[in-house]
Chain A
Amino acid sequence: MSKPNNDGYYQAYWPRGVRQQKTRALAPRLNSLEGKTVAQLWDYLFKGDEVFELLEEGLKKKYPGVKFVSWRDFGSTHGGDEKDALAALPKRFKELGVDAVISGMAC
């Protein structure tokens, strides 16, 4: 004998919201790091200072003409004033002749 079904019938709606941003393409990549200026951006977390020092050492060995702008020149990218700090970056990059960015640390 089959059991009576008292589990109801429901038409349930999607609980999410529509995404508000179309995806964008990434910036064009460089041909090489040789002769380029790379900015270091740091959120002041997880030994980024030591990591940037190592990367700088290794990349300079591989690309003798590469230059770096230290994270000290930008301040933290993660904090109470994050929005203003990020908005100011493009202008600062232009002033410093930056070509590419290394950003850390997600841990």
Chain B
Amino acid sequence: MLRASAACEAAGYPTSSLTCEGFFKQAAATSIGLGMRNIPLALVPGHIGNKSKDDLRRDILGVTMQAVVDNLTVATTAQADSSEPGARDIVVKGAFAEVNRYFYEHELADGLPIVPPTRDAIEEFLKFTDRQPDEMLGVLLPDRRAATVWNVAVNGVMAGCRPEYMPVLIALIEAMCDPKYGVEHSGNTPGGDTLIILNGPIIKELGFNYLQGALRDGFLPNTSVGRFWRLYLRNVAGFLLHKTDKATFGNTWRVVLAENEDVLKSIGWPTISADMGFKAGDNTVTISRYTGGGSLSSVTGSTPEEMLPYLADSLVKFNNWQITFTTSHGPGTLRPLAVITPIIAETIAKAGWKKSDVQKWLFEHARITAHDFERQLRDWNIRGVWDLKDDVTHGRIPKVFYESDDPNRLVPIVWKAEDFMIAVGGDPLRNNAYVFGHNGFLGFPTAKKIELPKEWERLLAAQAI
């Protein structure tokens, strides 16, 4: 909403932005990143979702309306710019505890101790890239700050990464800067968190865990790279709780999921990386935001037909309100993810099924009634658009969503079979799965190739000594 207001102000049109009470601080902080220190806000008391019609009328006419008039007719004074350190400034000198106190008190850390980013430590990271430290990888909202090779290294040091993870970190920030991903939405209400999926020989070269406990902390590369992601969102993009990060609940960062490529190769299924358009053997990162998820215990059966109904059912259950990204809100951008263990993938493959066969089956069977679909958006989520017939009639969504007037007809939760993403990892000998609810265009799957430095093998060997 505020981005729309900023665009209008820049074009010469005065604006008033309707803002619920809980979002005032976020709006003020976001305004700065949009290049305007004081985009005028009109208060909507409390939260609009919980007001009766009478309460809404009283508050809008009694409070909000006058603020709208003031916003559009009274000029306000912008606050002065605050001075900030330079890109390569030392901000604190002292002992470990002093450095950590400074970083925490200045909102530069996540609540855990950080590794002090000293010149020596940063330079160790910079050895693992052929790119110049000041090279800009992009500009990140909401703060509109420069993402550079230098500050990738600084935050990598802080997160506890090892220097040789640097190529992975750079690829991640290139993905974060890709407009397709939508980093600017990272502070939204559902508090989704990014999952990083790693592919390629670099999984084994750097010692990523891709076996049992694949989504749990405990392995340095998986854990520290996940922490780096969140630190970078905080320090460079500018997402801070109680300000620009409005996650209602949120989670701790997710550790990196490395796929079990040995199993994928043995059954002839493509990796996530290949699904994203890369060649086999490429080192890649794929990022996407998930609002939550859960584990499926004991996916039992010896054939795909016996096992997949359980998976389909869970995909629907863990992507309930998220169907707003199927129609209504960023239509066609819902990409649910299922992570299945090697033994499940092997059992399905033994029946001659490819990954694409599984996706097609899920598209046909992971469905809900049209009535439930519309009720979710109309009655429960108060979305602006929820009528499947109207959407299909106007060509906004595929015809499969309105093939009859029967409210009990089954409709899919995604636009096409390949929208279901399927990764393979976790304990090889357990028949479990993990399903993620996706955040649609507010964290769309985006992949980047990891570029290694020319001297990669020599540098890596030197680290091992």
A residues lining the B interface (CB < 8 Å): 5, 7-33, 38-39, 41-51, 54-55, 57-59, 62, 76-80, 82-83, 86-87, 89-90, 93, 98-107
Contacts and interface: CB of A to CB of B under 8 A. Distances in A.
B198 interface: no
B155 A55 contact: no
Contacts of A32: 73
A80 B40 CA distance: 25
Contacts of A50: 53, 56
B118 interface: yes
Contacts of B147: 17
A106 B2 contact: yes
Contact of B7 (A31, A86, A102, A106): A86
B94 A51 contact: no
A12 B14 contact: no
A13 B383 contact: no
Contacts of A28: 12, 14, 75
B87 A14 contact: yes
Contacts of B13: 27, 39, 90, 93, 98-101
A89 B11 contact: yes
Nearest to B96: A7
B331 interface: yes
B76 interface: yes
A43 to B, nearest CB: 5
B454 interface: no
B72 A100 contact: yes
30 contacts: A8-B96, A10-B93, A11-B118, A16-B143, A19-B144, A24-B9, A26-B75, A26-B78, A27-B12, A27-B15, A29-B74, A30-B14, A38-B72, A39-B13, A45-B382, A46-B48, A46-B382, A48-B18, A51-B44, A51-B64, A54-B56, A58-B61, A78-B1, A86-B4, A90-B13, A100-B13, A100-B72, A101-B8, A103-B17, A105-B1
B22 A107 contact: yes
Given A12-B99, A13-B91, A46-B382, 12 more contacts: A12-B102, A15-B158, A45-B383, A47-B56, A77-B1, A89-B8, A100-B72, A101-B8, A103-B1, A105-B18, A107-B44, A107-B48
Interface in B58-80: 60-61, 64-65, 68-69, 72-76, 78
Interface in B91-106: 91-97, 99, 102-103
Contacts of A58: 60-61, 65
Which of the listed residues A38, A39, A58 has the most CB atoms from chain B within 10 Å of its own CB? A58
Nearest to A57: B61
A12 B383 contact: no
The list of the 7 closest CB pairs from A to B, nearest first, reads A44-B384, A104-B18, A17-B145, A7-B95, A10-B116, A107-B20, A90-B11
Given A27-B13, A43-B1, A83-B179, A12 B118 contact: yes
A12 B117 contact: yes
B320 interface: no
B413 interface: no
Contacts of B78: 23, 25-26
A47 B382 contact: yes
Interface of B: 1-5, 7-20, 22-23, 26-27, 32-33, 35-40, 42, 44, 47-49, 53, 56-57, 60-61, 64-65, 68-69, 72-76, 78, 81, 84-97, 99, 102-103, 108, 116-119, 122, 139-140, 143-148, 151, 154-155, 158, 179, 231, 235-236, 328-333, 382-385, 440-441
A7 to B, nearest CB: 4
A62 B88 CA distance: 55
Contacts of A104: 1, 17-18
Given A23-B35, A78-B1, A15 B44 contact: no
A55 B72 contact: no
A10 B96 contact: yes
B177 to A, nearest CB: 11
A39 B84 CA distance: 37
B87 A26 contact: no
